[in-house]
Structure 1
Amino acid sequence: MIADRYTARADAFEAKVARVRDDQWDNPSPCAKWTARGVVDHVIDMHGVMLGVAIPRTGSVLDDFREARRQVYAALTSDRASSEVSTPVGPMTLEEHIDQVVSDDLVLHGWDLARATGQDETIPPADVQRLWATATSVPPELMERFRTPGAFGPGIEVYGAEVPVPADASLQDRLLGYVGRDPVSKKS
């Protein structure tokens, strides 16, 4: 189940990466410090963090992502998946950690990449519901830590400050606002 969810999300993210035109890599993203390329670089880096390795870079963003996902999928389908790992929120299995961090990142950063490059920003409804349930179940004291830049290491910010959205906003927009994205304002 976790490997299947990861695969579906990685497929969707890879398709977005493949559609980025050469002239769009420096476009600003909804993540204030990153360009479109920075979003993908972060996703690749986090794949490596989950595995305790540095993902080699070839110069092709698409090839680099494909290598990152290959390595994570190999871990998810091996005996290593059930091994216990230490995480900032306590011990869990490697596959649970990948599911809660990298797999969820593919959804949110897929939206970031789509917004930065003018692609379809629709998140699958099942992913919206799952991420909404996850995000809103975080205890307030932990959510404060999630919103504090650097709380989990240099340059790491799990969620940004909540962005208010209209009361009648879709669940996708409410999720994005809750995790610190502005789903209403379009970048010019």
Structure 2
Amino acid sequence: MNDPSTLDTSGLRRAFAATRAVLAVVRDDQLDAPTPCASWNVDALIRHMIDAARSARDAIDGVTERVADTDENHTVGDYLDAYDDGIRKTPAAFGTLRADTSLFGGRLSASALLLMSTQDQFIHGWDLARAVGHSTNLDPELADGLLAHARTWVLDGHRGADGVGLFGPAARTSSEYPADRLAAFLGREM
């Protein structure tokens, strides 16, 4: 029987799966390509996705310092291995938490961190898809749910220029894909 106060990591698992499917089609010669995140090329975006999964685990495990990966010579295969590690370990770490657990000195609940991690992995999967010319029609049901939730917490104060705000100004789109609508709401230009 499942404990109802335990976090449901199914959305995070789906975000990881959608993003991993895109990562699997990236070629080494695309690592320098630009992305919708103006500050990052494909290589930096992938490093962020891997680091974000590790950071969530670190927060759960109480790790306050970690040695950064400074190796500049990764291949897509290296990144897939590291991302697969995140797919295995991060949902499992969240699965040990209870929904009412607070992290970061009580400033962020475990359920909020889980939702942020899910949205981050998913939207960066969209960024990666856009950067390498892959379809952005990623997990429509998950995208709809993330958009509905984002509309409740992403405020104008969270928006700003790249590197300044958490999100850019909401963009317009007429796309039929829910992931594109989520990306536009989070400030990605179509």
- TM-score range (shorter-chain normalised) is 0.7 to 0.9
Measured in 2, the distance between the counterparts of 1:86 and 1:56 equals 20
Q: 1:108 to 1:81 in 2, by over 3 A?
A: same
Alpha-carbon contact 1:111-1:121 (below 8 Å) kept: yes
Which residue of 87, 90, 94 maps to 1:69?
A: 87
Give 2:4's aligned residue. none
Q: 1:87 to 1:109 in 2, by over 3 A?
A: farther
For structure 2, the residue ranges without an aligned partner over 5 or more in a row are: 1-6
- TM superposition shift of 1:15: 2.0
Q: What are the superposed Cα offsets for residues 70-102 of structure 1, whole Å, 9 maximum, x if unpaired?
A: 3312312325776321489x4312xx1343111
Which aligned segments of 4 or more residues in structure 1 are displaced greater than 4 angstroms?
55-58, 79-82
**TM-score for both structures, normalised by structure 2:** 0.75
Code of the aligned partner of 2:185: Y
- TM superposition shift of 1:29: 0.5
Q: Where in structure 2 are the equivalents of 1:166-177 lying within 5 Å?
A: 166=174, 169-170=175-176, 172=178, 173-177=180-184
Measured in 1, the distance between the counterparts of 2:164 and 2:99 equals 24
Give 1:145's aligned residue. 157
Alpha-carbon contact 2:8-2:95 (below 8 Å) kept: no
May I ask how many residue pairs the two structures share in their alignment? 171
- TM superposition shift of 1:175: 2.6
Give 2:172's aligned residue. 164
For structure 1, the residue ranges without an aligned partner over 5 or more in a row are: 184-188
Give 1:29's aligned residue. 35
Alpha-carbon contact 1:45-1:55 (below 8 Å) kept: no
Higher relative contact order (CA 8 A, sep 6+): 2
Alpha-carbon contact 2:130-2:136 (below 8 Å) kept: yes
**TM-score for both structures, normalised by structure 1:** 0.76
